[in-house]
Structures are given as structure tokens and as C-alpha cells.
Structure 1
């Protein structure tokens, strides 16, 4: 018996905009990017998410937002 597990994740950029603050590594400007993520299993859509990712415009590092309450 053969079982094939085929999973695919596709990302599509929706838009970019200037984010407040500066990069903690190099001090350059930070850019926010909205991304649409669609997960599929054997060509059937499973999950649909929209996320915001933050990047430095100079050193191109992905930055994460930590909130301390």
C-alpha cells in the first residue's frame, strides 16, 4: 500500500508600507509587508491566512515583534 503525502504552501505579496521604528541591528528603516498564505493538500485548499511580516530595508533581516504586557 502506497500513501503519498503532497503538501504545498504558496505565498503572495499583497502590499508593502513603511513601518514605525528602526532596525535594532543596523538602525535603518523598517518595512511592513502583508502576505497571503494558502496551504494545500493534494491541490485542495486547507488554510488561508493573511500575515504581516517586518523587514529591514538595509540589512534585509526579518524582524519579529515581541509584545511585553
Structure 2
């Protein structure tokens, strides 16, 4: 008997806003990106989570707050 589970994660950009500060690598502007993450099991949504990520607008580097 073969059992197959269809699982996956979908990410969707909800909004983008300018953030204060400058990129430490190139000096470009920083964007705050709100991302909605959704886990699916057999096309049924199980888990939703909203995340805020920071990226440089010039070099597209992912920035981490400390």
C-alpha cells in the first residue's frame, strides 16, 4: 500500500513599506515586507503566520535585526 501526503507552504507578499535606516552593505534604502505564510495539507490550510522581513531595495540583501 502506498500512502502519499501532499503538503506544502505558500508565501504571499501582503505589503511593502519603506523602513528607516540604510543598508550596511551598499547604503541603499531598506524596505519592510509583510509576508503571509500558509501551510497546506491536501489543499486544506492548516496554519497561517504573518512575518515582517527587511530587504535592501538596491542590492536585495535580506537584513536581520539584532
Q: TM-score, normalised by structure 1?
A: 0.86
Which consecutive residues of structure 1, in runs of 5 or more, have no partner in the other structure? none
Q: TM-score, normalised by structure 2?
A: 0.89
In structure 2, the partner of 1:58 is 58
* Distance (Å, rounded) in 2 between the aligned partners of 1:3 and 1:21: 51
TM-superposed CA distance for 1:27, in Å, is 1.1
Q: Report runs of 4+ in structure 1 exceeding 2 Å deviation.
A: none
Deviates more, 1:1-10 or 1:44-53: 1-10
Which consecutive residues of structure 2, in runs of 5 or more, have no partner in the other structure? none
TM-superposed CA distance for 1:6, in Å, is 1.4
The alignment of Structure 1 onto Structure 2 pairs a total of residues equal to 66
